[in-house]
Structure 1
Amino acid sequence: MPDRLAPLTEALLAAARKAGAEAADAMAIDGRSVSVDVRGGALEQADRSEGTEIGLRVLIGRRQACVSASDISARTMAEMAERAVAMAREAPEDATIGLAEPADLARAWDLALLDLADPAPEPGAAELQDDARRAEAAALAVSGISQCQAASASYSRQRVFIAATNGFAGGYSRTSRSTSAVAIAGEGLAMERDWAAESRTYQSDLPSAEEIGRLAGERAAERLGARKPKTGAYPVVFDERIASGLVGHLLAAINGSAIVRGSSWLRDAMGAQVLPRGLSIYENPHRPRISSSRPFDAEGLPTAPRDIVRDGTLKSWTLDLGTARKLGLKSTGSAARGASSPPAPSISNIALTQGDHSRAQLIEAMGTGLVVTSMIGAAINPTTGDYSRGASGFWVENGRISHPVNECTLAGNLRDMLMRITPANDARGHLSHVVPSLLVEGLTLAGA
C-alpha cells in the first residue's frame, strides 16, 4: 500500500484525539480517472480527474459526526477534527454507535489473491479515443443503424486506506477499464435505441471495441418496428442484462438499514422461503478481479463468503456494526462508506443458482409472453413489495420471438414474483452480480 495514504489517516486520528475525540476512524482515498466520448468519428468530450479525499469520523460517547475534505494540509486536518468534535457533541445519542472490538478486526488478508489492480500502464487519452471511435464505427456498420448516440471509453485507478483508534489499519487499490456504445436505429418517430457496455478490472480482459459496438448496433436494429403488446396476465422472461435488478430488490429488502426501520417487505421473513426450493443466493467478497470484491469492510472487519438464501430459505440479513447491534446480531462484515459518510450495510458479489436450461429454452417453454430487455422508471413500495415498472423487449408467440414491443408496464408483487422464478444458465461470470435470465410466471402486463 502506498506510503502516502497511511500517514494521512494517522495524522487525522492524531488531530481527532487532540481535539477531544474519544474514538475515531479515518479514510484516505486517492484516484485518477480519464474518460473519452466520441461522436461522428471525432472527439466530443474528454475528462481527466485526479485527487485525494480524506474523511474523519469522530465518536464522543454515543454520538458521532463525519467530515471530509480534499485539502490534505495539517491546518485543514486540525480544522476538520475540531469541527467534527463540535458536531458530535451536538449530535443525537445512538446506543449502537461504536468502533469494532479489537479482537474482531481483520488481521491478515492477501491482496494478491483478490487481484483488484491491473499492473498494466494507464492507457493514454489517444488509446481510449481509438477504442470509442472503433466502437462507434462498428455500431454504425450494422444495417439499420442511423446514428451512434454515444461511444465512450474510460479508465480509473483508486486507492483507499482506512485506520481507526481501535488499532485497525489497511488499504488496497483497484482499477477499472470500460467501453460502451449507444446506437439508434431508424428515423423520425420510428427510431429505437439500445446499448452495449463492458467493464473489467484488467484491460486485457475487456472485449474488443468492435464487439461492443456491433452488439449495441444489433440490439438497436432488432428493436425496429416495436409496438405495444397485449394487455393481460402473461409469463415474462427478464433478460440476463436486467435480471440482476429483480434480485437486487430482494437484496435491498434484506439490508439491515431497511430491517431496522421496519420498512422492508421481507422484515418478518428470516428463516422463511423467499425463492423456489433449489435456488440460493451466495455472497463471495473474495472473487478475484471483480469490481465489488474487498478484503475487509469499512469498519475493519474481515469479509467472508456467506449464504444469503439457501435452498430458497432466507438465512441472513446484510449488516454493519450499527444495524447488527440494533437487531442483537453480529455484523456480516458488510459495512461500506465514503469519506463524508458513516458506515452502512452493503452487498459485495453475489451469485444466484443457475438453471439447467438456456434462455432460448425458457422462451420456448413460456409459449406466449414477453421477453424484457429494458426497463424504465420504477414504482416499488419497499414496505409491501408492490412492483410496477415500464418495460420494452420482444413479444413471444408459440415459444418464438415474434416482434419487438415497447410502451408497456409490468406489475406484480415482489414476494410472489420471486417465488415463481425459473433461472436460465446464461449468467456472465465476470459481473459482481451473477444472475441469469429469469422466467417469472403470471405478471400483469399493461399494453395496448
Structure 2
Amino acid sequence: MTSEIDSAALLSRASQLIDLARKAGADAADAVVVRSRAHSVSVRLGKVEGTESSESDDFSLRVFVGNRVASVSANPGFDLNALAERAVAMAKVSPEDPFACLADGADLAKSYPDLELFDPTEVSTEQLREAALATEAAALAVSGVTNSSGAGASAGMGGLVLVTSHGFSGHYMGSRFGRSVSVIAGEGTGMERDYDFDSRLYFADLDAAEEIGRRAGERVVKRLNPRQVPTGKNVTVVFDPRVARGFVGHIAGAINGASVARKTSFLRDKMGQQVLKAGLSITDDPLIVRGPSSRPFDGEGVSGKRLVMIEDGVLKSWFLSTATAREIGGGLKTNGRGVRGGTSVSPASTNLALEPGDISPEELIRSVGAGFYVTELIGQGVNMITGEYSRGATGFWIENGELTFAVSEVTIASNLKDMFMRVTPANDIDRDFGIAAPTLAIEGMTLAGR
C-alpha cells in the first residue's frame, strides 16, 4: 500500500468539481473523495473459505443554492461538468434547509498535523492466510475447544480528500490491519462460543496470531457449564473492558448533537448538569498520534481539539458539526466532530475515553464481594430517548471477591441515567480502540435469572 496514490490528481479533480458547480449556479460547494483499499482472507478448520479484495474512490459533490442543498455521488471516470450541473439542478428544486451549510471560513484548518496514521507495510495474501490459520490453530489447541466458527486476517487503507469552495483543500490516509477468530467449546446443548481479535493502524503493533487464538480458546472454555442465578435487585454488575466500551458508546450517543437536535437523547436537557458520577470524566481527542480514530481535520475541513466532554461528572459539550450546532442554536459552533457519511455530515466522537480510576480490576472485583461479572451482552434493549436499559448477559458470578462459576441466560436492567451515576472505573484502560474504557462496576442493577 502507498499513502499517496493519486492524491494530487484527486485533489485537482475535486477542485475542478467545485469550480464547475459554482459556474453552474451554486453559491457554495464541497467535494469529497472517500477512498478505500482492502484485502482479507477467511479460514475455517484449516482450509481457506474466502479471499476478498476491494478498491474504490467514491466522489461526492454537495452544492448549496441559497438555503437549498443537494448531493450527488459518482465513481471515477464520471463527467465532471455533467455531475456539477446535475447537482445544482437538484438543489434548485430541493426543499429549503435552514441549517445546512458549509463550515465558516474562520473555523477551517489553516494547516494540519501529520498524525502518523498510515503504515505502508505491504501484506501479501499468503501472509494473511498464514496469520488466519495460525490464529485458528492456536485457539483449537486449547484443551476443551471442540470446533471453529472461523478465523480471518485483513489489511486495508482508507482516507479522505476534501475541497471546499471557500478555501479548504486537504487529504489524509490511514491504514488498518486485523486478526480475529471465533471458536466453540463443549458438545451438543452444552456448547459455548467466544472470540478474540486485534485491530491496529500499524502492522507491527498487532498481537501475535498465536496470542489472539490462545485468548479466544481460554475465554470459551471458561464459559462451559454455565448456571443461572436467582433474580435479585441492587446487584453490582461489573463490565469487562470489551463490554465497557459499548457502555461508553451509549454515553457518546446520548451527548451527540444530532440526537440532541432531534430530541432523541435522554440527556438533551442536561448541559451543565451532573450526568456522571462525580470524579469521572469523558474525553475525546482527534489529534492523538497513531490514535485508532484520529483525524487531522473533520469531514468539513475543521480541526478538532481535545475536549473534556464530561468533567467531574458534569456535562460540558455535545459532539457538533456545523449544521447540528446551528440546529441546536444558542450560539453553538462546530467543535470539529463532523463525519462524512455518504453525502451528509453528522457529528461523531473520535478517540473517546472514560478516564480510568486508581484501583486494579482485581481490587475492584474484590470490593464488590458478590455480584455479576459480564463478558458479553445480547440484544438491543437500550432506549436512548428514556434511558431504559435491559440486555441479556453472560459472564461469571462474583463470590467473596473472586470470579467463580460461569453464568448465562440472565438479563440485567436499569436506567442509563442511574447507571451513569453509579459507575466506578478500574485502572486497566486500553487506548488502542476508538472507544476506550477500563473495567467498570455499576451498583444497583436488577438481575433477572431463574
**TM-score interval w.r.t. the shorter chain?**
over 0.9
CA–CA distance in structure 2, aligned partners of residues 230 and 25 of structure 1: 58
Aligned partner of 1:137 in structure 2 is 137
Question: Is residue 182 of structure 2 the alignment partner of residue 179 of structure 1?
Answer: no
Query: 5 Å matches for 1:422-441?
Result: 422-441=424-443
Q: Deviations over 1:84-124 (max 9, x none)?
A: 2222222221222211222221011121xx1100032x200
CA–CA distance in structure 2, aligned partners of residues 189 and 4 of structure 1: 58
Where 1:380 maps in the other structure, the secondary structure is coil
Q: By how many angstroms is 1:27 displaced?
A: 0.5
CA–CA distance in structure 2, aligned partners of residues 65 and 264 of structure 1: 28
Aligned partner of 1:211 in structure 2 is 211
CA–CA distance in structure 2, aligned partners of residues 165 and 23 of structure 1: 6
CA–CA distance in structure 2, aligned partners of residues 330 and 52 of structure 1: 31
CA–CA distance in structure 1, aligned partners of residues 83 and 38 of structure 2: 27
Is the contact between residue 391 and residue 406 of structure 1 (CA under 8 Å) also seen in structure 2? yes
Q: By how many angstroms is 1:248 displaced?
A: 1.2
Q: By how many angstroms is 1:83 displaced?
A: 2.6
Is the contact between residue 129 and residue 153 of structure 1 (CA under 8 Å) also seen in structure 2? yes
Query: 5 Å matches for 1:80-159?
Result: 80-111=83-114, 114-120=115-121, 122-159=122-159
Is the contact between residue 396 and residue 406 of structure 2 (CA under 8 Å) also seen in structure 1? yes
Aligned partner of 1:372 in structure 2 is 374
Is the contact between residue 8 and residue 72 of structure 1 (CA under 8 Å) also seen in structure 2? no
Is the contact between residue 105 and residue 301 of structure 1 (CA under 8 Å) also seen in structure 2? yes
Q: By how many angstroms is 1:169 displaced?
A: 0.6
Counterpart selection for 2:385 from 377, 383, 386: 383
Q: Deviations over 1:108-160 (max 9, x none)?
A: 1121xx1100032x200000000000000000000000012110000001232
Unpaired segments of 5 or more residues in structure 2? none
CA–CA distance in structure 2, aligned partners of residues 312 and 25 of structure 1: 38
Aligned partner of 1:353 in structure 2 is 355
Counterpart selection for 1:413 from 412, 415, 424: 415
CA–CA distance in structure 1, aligned partners of residues 431 and 319 of structure 2: 23
Aligned partner of 2:47 in structure 1 is 42
CA–CA distance in structure 1, aligned partners of residues 242 and 381 of structure 2: 20
Where 2:50 maps in the other structure, the secondary structure is strand
Q: Give the AA of the match of 1:151.
A: A
Aligned partner of 1:393 in structure 2 is 395
Query: 5 Å matches for 1:46-85?
Result: 46-73=51-78, 75=79, 77-85=80-88
Q: By how many angstroms is 1:382 displaced?
A: 1.5
Q: Give the AA of the match of 2:311.
A: R
Q: Give the AA of the match of 1:220.
A: V
Identity %, equivalent residues:
47
CA–CA distance in structure 1, aligned partners of residues 222 and 291 of structure 2: 31
Q: By how many angstroms is 1:46 displaced?
A: 0.5
CA–CA distance in structure 2, aligned partners of residues 159 and 270 of structure 1: 34
Moved over 6 A (4+): none
Aligned partner of 1:238 in structure 2 is 239
Where 1:3 maps in the other structure, the secondary structure is helix
Where 2:406 maps in the other structure, the secondary structure is strand
Aligned partner of 2:9 in structure 1 is 4
Aligned partner of 1:24 in structure 2 is 29
Is the contact between residue 40 and residue 53 of structure 2 (CA under 8 Å) also seen in structure 1? yes
Question: Is residue 266 of structure 2 the alignment partner of residue 265 of structure 1?
Answer: yes
Where 1:360 maps in the other structure, the secondary structure is helix
Aligned partner of 1:256 in structure 2 is 257
Q: Give the AA of the match of 1:433.
A: I
CA–CA distance in structure 2, aligned partners of residues 159 and 331 of structure 1: 22
RMSD: 1.2
CA–CA distance in structure 1, aligned partners of residues 285 and 201 of structure 2: 17
Is the contact between residue 388 and residue 409 of structure 1 (CA under 8 Å) also seen in structure 2? yes
Paired residues, number: 442
Q: Deviations over 1:57-86 (max 9, x none)?
A: 11111111111112333x2x3333233222
Aligned partner of 1:322 in structure 2 is 323
Q: Give the AA of the match of 1:376.
A: I
Q: Deviations over 1:228-253 (max 9, x none)?
A: 22211211001111101111111101
Q: By how many angstroms is 1:394 displaced?
A: 0.7
CA–CA distance in structure 2, aligned partners of residues 410 and 91 of structure 1: 46
Is the contact between residue 38 and residue 155 of structure 2 (CA under 8 Å) also seen in structure 1? yes
CA–CA distance in structure 2, aligned partners of residues 290 and 18 of structure 1: 40
Is the contact between residue 350 and residue 433 of structure 1 (CA under 8 Å) also seen in structure 2? yes
Is the contact between residue 357 and residue 425 of structure 2 (CA under 8 Å) also seen in structure 1? yes
CA–CA distance in structure 1, aligned partners of residues 177 and 13 of structure 2: 28
Q: TM-score scaled to structure 2, two decimals? A: 0.96
Where 1:323 maps in the other structure, the secondary structure is helix
CA–CA distance in structure 2, aligned partners of residues 192 and 90 of structure 1: 56
Is the contact between residue 248 and residue 435 of structure 2 (CA under 8 Å) also seen in structure 1? no
Q: Give the AA of the match of 1:436.
A: P
Q: Give the AA of the match of 1:130.
A: E
CA–CA distance in structure 2, aligned partners of residues 376 and 154 of structure 1: 26
CA–CA distance in structure 1, aligned partners of residues 11 and 218 of structure 2: 48
Farther off after superposition, 88-97 or 295-304:
88-97
Is the contact between residue 45 and residue 150 of structure 2 (CA under 8 Å) also seen in structure 1? no
Is the contact between residue 100 and residue 166 of structure 1 (CA under 8 Å) also seen in structure 2? no
Is the contact between residue 417 and residue 440 of structure 1 (CA under 8 Å) also seen in structure 2? yes
Q: By how many angstroms is 1:365 displaced?
A: 1.4
Q: Indicate how the Cα distance of structure 1 residues 301 and 166 shifts in structure 2: closer, same or farther if over 3 A, else same.
A: same
Is the contact between residue 238 and residue 371 of structure 1 (CA under 8 Å) also seen in structure 2? yes
